[in-house]
Every structure is written in C-alpha cells, then in structure tokens.
Amino acid sequence: MEYDLTARQKEILEKFTERVADISKSDWDSHYLTKWLYARNFDIVKAEEMLRASVKYREKMRIDHILEEYEVPEVLGKYLIGGMCGRDKEGLPIRIEPFGNLDMKGIMKSVKKTDLEKIAIRNCEQLLRECQYQSKVQDKRIDGYTLIFDMANFSRKMLWRPGLSVYIANAEILQNNYPEMQKRMFIINAPKVFPILWKLAQPIISENTKRKMKVLGKNYKEELLKYIDEDQLPVFLGGTMTGPNGDPLCSHKICHGGEVPESYYLDDSVASKTADRATISPGNDLKIECEIESPGSILSWNFKTEHKDIGFGITVKPEGSTKEKELIPVSRVDSQVLEQDGNIICEQAGKCKCIKR
C-alpha cells in the first residue's frame, strides 16, 4: 500500500526524516518512515520516541539475527497456534491463528517469559522476510499481511488473567515495533464473551489498528472471500485449499495448538531449583543491590514465586549521583505461573537495585 499524503503530512515527513537521520539505515525510505508517523497520528515527537525506542529494543533482543540464532523450544513448535497460509487478493501473506485451540496455561508452564517474547518477534520477522520475497515475485511493494483470528472452540477457561496478560503484552510489543504491518484483521467465530476480551485489549490497540478490524460471528465466509480467493483459503475456513493427503486444516502450514502434555512443564526450572530462596512478608520489599562497574554492562534476572504474583522493578544510582533513576518501573508480574527472566543494558556505572514487593 502506498500512502497518499497531504501537503502538511509531507512536510512533517521531511522534518521527521531529518530528526532521525542519526539512526537511519540504508533501507529506511520515505514509505518506511511514514509508517511510524501513521502509528502516532503524525505526532512527530511521539513517532520519533517510538522509532528510537524500537531501535534500542531491536539491538537488545538481537532481532536482526533472531531467525538464525533463536532455537524455538519444541513445545512452541508443536503447540503454539498459528502460521502463514496463502495470499489475499492484493498479494499479501495471510496469517491464521486458531486462538480457540490455544492452551496458554500449558504453554506458560513449559517455557520462560523471554521465549514467548522471542517467538512473537520471530513470527513477525518471518512475515517480513516473506513480504520481501513476495515483493520480488510480484514486482510490487508487499509490506504487510492479513490476519485471520479464529475463536472457534473458545472457552471461559481462556479468560485466565495471566495468560491474557502475556498475550496482550506481546501484542503491544509487536505493535510498537512493527507499525502498520497488519493491513486487516478478521476475528471470526467471535464468542459471546468477546466484549470482555475487547475491554482488556482495547487500551493498547491503536486507532489505526481498530479501523482495520472486522469482528464476525459464524457467518464469515462471504466476507473473507471478498478479500481472499477460495484457493488461497483453507477448507476449514470455507475455501478449497488443502494440505497433504487432503488435509482441510492445512496443518503443514498452520499449528492448531491443543492441550500441552505435562511432560513439557518446567518442573526443573532454574529459578525453582538452583536460585537463592527468600520470603517476602506482606507489605515488605526485598531489595537486591549489585554494583555496575562499567557502562554497557548487562544486568540479567531470573526468578519465580511459589504462590502469588509480585511487584518487580529495577532502579540505578549512577556514580556521583545521590538520586536513583528508574530503569524498569515496578509492575505486577505473574511469577507464580511464568518464570520471569530478562536482561537490560546499563548505560551508566553505579549501583543497581532490584525491587520485589
């Protein structure tokens, strides 16, 4: 999709290009930069903050190398729903996610927090690579995808708060680092409890993304076929595409999830077996201090709680300063369910403090 900008928007784009010139890369053309402006409604300050934050995030997560370096845990390969399958009438790749078959609790008991973050990023990078390939094949710009979010088989157990929190948090990460990538989204087989889910997710969804969403019930076929040819849509969604041996689910391309066997659960997790143990009484904090000897040092953490969630955050007091600086704001994490792990680059030497409450 090419953007038809007004004179005012073109002026903002020109200024934006100048403001981010110090971090610009060779493949950042005007079309790419316009995406970041659209994501922040052409607020040049917010768009710049968003882009600079994304550059830092990509460096921290080594996103440019994630397809080659990240080894996907077996349980995610077998049970994390979704996959690319077919192209829409504009030539955009189609991603299909059978959300109703997702065992989020089983997934979260089987991997670390960073695995869920990395696999979401990896999926987006695969989509980008597919877009680059299709651009060459079709000899036109392909830089987005169509998403079919299938809620068939959805049950109330999927309203489990920790699972929804992780899913929504990952969606926010993707929205902040891949702006304007999703061209349209069909939510099909939407259950009666969908308004509850929408209420939870709505605050982090941009207005642009909301305009691209179509919420459909069980009679979705006619609407899908307005945008997708039958031979590009799997049989189970009303098309004619099949997998090997006439598979109507196209399981060779789409993971349909299912209940995760307990044999995958991380009973011998690092946090529960090898880490130091501590008890935090109600109303009290556990503060762990460490010395950051040189700028550019990496601070890593890994922990799990036995019964309840916990507040977690990190502050630093730079050398020569009497004031603490917040690196990670204290927020509640579901550490009783999902092993929490991560790292951050400390840009200044000083004393770091991990806070748990």
Secondary structure in 3-state letters for 44-107: HHHHHHHHHHHHHHHHHHCHHHHHHHCCCCHHHHHHCCEEEEEECCCCCEEEEECHHHECHHHH
pLDDT at 357: 66
Q: Which residues pair with 353 in a beta bridge?
A: 289, 315
Q: Characterize the bridge pairing of strands 340-346 and 213-215.
A: unpaired
In the chain the first and final C-alpha atoms are separated, in Å, by 48
Residue 267 CB neighbour total at 10 angstroms: 10
pLDDT at 270: 45
Q: Residue-wise over 133-144: b if at least 16 C-beta within 10 A, else e?
A: ebeeeeeeebbb
Spatial CA neighbour of 299 closest among 356, 355, 339, 352: 352
- List, run by run, the mean pLDDT of 10-residue segments along the chain (357 residues): 88 97 94 95 96 95 95 96 96 96 92 92 96 95 96 84 82 91 94 82 81 92 97 97 97 96 77 67 83 78 81 86 85 82 78 73
Is residue 227 helix, strand or coil?
helix
**Would you list the DSSP string of 297-357?**
EEEEEEE--SSS-EEEEEEEEETT-SS-EEEEEEEEE-TTTS-EEEEEEE-S-EEEEEEE-
Spatial separation of the C-alpha atoms in residues 96 and 146, rounded to whole Å: 9
Q: Residue-wise over 57-77: b if at least 16 C-beta within 10 A, else e?
A: eeeebebeebeeebeebebbe
- Cβ(119)–Cβ(76) under 8 Å? yes
Spatial CA neighbour of 169 closest among 220, 230, 108: 108
pLDDT at 185: 95
Spatial separation of the C-alpha atoms in residues 30 and 288, rounded to whole Å: 46
